[in-house]
Structure 1
Amino acid sequence: MALPIIGELVKGASAIIDEFHTSAEEKLAAKHKLSELQVAMNEKALEYETARVRETASTIRAEAASSHWLAANWRPLVMLIFAGLMVAHWLGRTPENLSEAQVLELMNIIKISLGGYVVGRSVEKIAPALAAGRRRD
């Protein structure tokens, strides 16, 4: 997410403001404007992230509600296949024509996929609570 990057940019800009040869009041006013900009940028980043998560959750919900069995279950099936591939690798059942670099790359893909699946499922569960809390504010 963009929030740490925004904070680092503002910190760097604040250090530059400290180097200005102006009065303390002018430096303080510039830093205040910078803080306001940081808040606005953080709000926009959070709005974007919220919209992205909602869109992802709606896609997953639509797939899960599908009347076609494969459309509703392809994600869990892929994750089971990935888990099976990892277990097969740990048991020494890796194809002999794969180099170590290829095996490591496949394991990285599986790691990222499993992580995304778990995070996606978690977000799917907590997104309604986050949206309800945001509506109350």
Structure 2
Amino acid sequence: MKLKDLIGHIRGNTLNRFLEQEKLGFELAFVDFFMKERISLESDIIILNSEELSEQPTVIDGIEYIELFPMGELVTVVDDILASSNSLSDNDVAKHFLIYRNNETPGWMIPDGKKDIFLWDGRS
């Protein structure tokens, strides 16, 4: 799943139903979204249980995952973006969300010492 797909679930009020269908094995209150290897529009998103996480970044099977946001915060930010302009496409909302995320957490680091790789420069 990509960020624009997640945005589509939030916009369509189908996120909870989608998560229930995923049979996560933990309460929705503990849903945390992570991006594979870097923060990017093209990065795959996985869902993890925030209660079971002990360190950032998270490494699973040798693959690094960087926290995007916990579910509640992600939904709040996306709803705020949609309230300001509901005519944006899911991809444009995703771009705005990544700008917000990058501004809110500019110092998050990945193991090699580089800042999160943010691959959208603000241009369409």
Normalised to the residue count of structure 1, the TM-score between the two structures is: 0.27
Please identify which structure carries the higher strand content. Answer: 2
Normalised to the residue count of structure 2, the TM-score between the two structures is: 0.29
Higher relative contact order structure (alpha carbons within 8 Å, sequence separation ≥ 6)? 2
Please identify which structure carries the higher helix content. Answer: 1
